[in-house]
Amino acid sequence: MGKIRIWIQERYGTIINSIAFYPAFIALMFLILSTLVISFDFSETGKHLKSQLHWLSLKDASTARSIISSIVAGVISLAVFSFSMVMIVLNQAASQMSNRVLDKLIGNSFQQIVLGIYIGTIVYALFLLSTIRDIDSGIYIPALSTYLLILITIIDIFLFIYFLHYITQSVKYEVIIARIFKETSASLEKSCELKGNQTAHSKTSTTYIIASKKSGIYERFDPQVLLRLCSENDCVVTIMHTPGTFVLKGLPVMSVSKQLSEDVQDHLLEQLYFPTSESIGGNFFYGLRQLTEVAVKALSPGINDPGTAIVSLRALFQLYAYRACYYPETVLFDKNNKERIIITEPGFEIIFSSTILPIWDYGKNDRMIQQEMRHLLTQLQATSGHAVINKLLQDVNR
């Protein structure tokens, strides 16, 4: 059951985050809408309505075909042009920022919804076109459905105008960095809720090693199920790696306080998530690394954009300021308040050093970076007394 649950969760995340999810769903809704509207059009109520209101009827089937065919061709052109622009934006972001930021653009729900509306309009129009018959009486032509299609097309045109504005804004570095910061901040606040010192745990001996059954990036674990398994088997588990660590198959991934059967070990391993790619939602440190990569790429000789690096620095220091004051839980207890899970989390010094020092290595000879780094470090030093901050500030002031 554990493997099935994990498989379902992974596939659910893949489907939801896919660029095709919203378009497929919206196109299906348009297909259902077309079926309902056309059914009403050919119902007795629809025929009576068209016979009473002559301006709602179309006397010529060829007129309806021409309108629908023109709309299909026009909306296809809108869709092609709109998403040619998206491909240009993705290429620019990948070449000038980082490949890791592409998911912020590909996974953007607004552009997926726009694509879905375009595809849905085409599906609606084609389905409507197939129902038109050469009949003398205009009440048998789906005029109501055709007029609704015209209204949807007008909405598509205004949506296209707004989409042009939206895509020109979304390509700005500030917007992409703000999206990464927002998602990272939410993940950080969810993971680090303890104010003050980190939770101290007892020196429980967990000497029996459990090796990974597959290679992958350790991201997180299921705390509820793992706690239950530990309570049932009266053991303490230590997660040996920090989130975001790549683990090879056959290497130790957790240790337990006593020898367990192979079945129990397999059940424990099933609670660890090893996705093939990282996500900020599962590991806030990945978001910090993305901001670092953006800044480093901006400082490279090919780009030479210290302004973008400064925007990334400011986002990073906001996250540092929160992490310096709040800590994640490193111990989980069962309902009897007995220690069951010991978690390995990266300390502030590791997070700070591994994400800020690469930027300083690239930008320490740039006056703009020097000035901004000095300003931000001075403020962070006032809120946190970590030695790593003081050391870097001394290097900046040299």
The model's pTM = 0.75
131-185 confidence digits (pLDDT tens): 876 655 544 678 788 889 999 999 999 999 888 888 777 777 888 888 889 999 9
pLDDT top residue among 355 and 206 = 355
Q: Would you state the torsion angle of the CA atoms of residues 54, 60, 66, 67, taken in this order, to the nearest 10 degrees?
A: 10
* Mean pLDDT in residue range 362-391: 88
Q: Residue 153: which residues within 8 A CB-CB, separation 6 or more?
A: 71, 74, 75, 121
pLDDT, position 214: 86
pLDDT, position 60: 72
CA nearest neighbour of 348 among 184, 179, 188, 183: 188
181-203 confidence digits (pLDDT tens): 999 999 999 888 887 655 555 55
Locus of tokens 């953006």: 294
Task: Indicate the pLDDT class of residue 382, thresholds 50, 70 and 90.
Answer: confident
pLDDT, position 124: 92
pLDDT, position 398: 74
pLDDT, position 120: 93
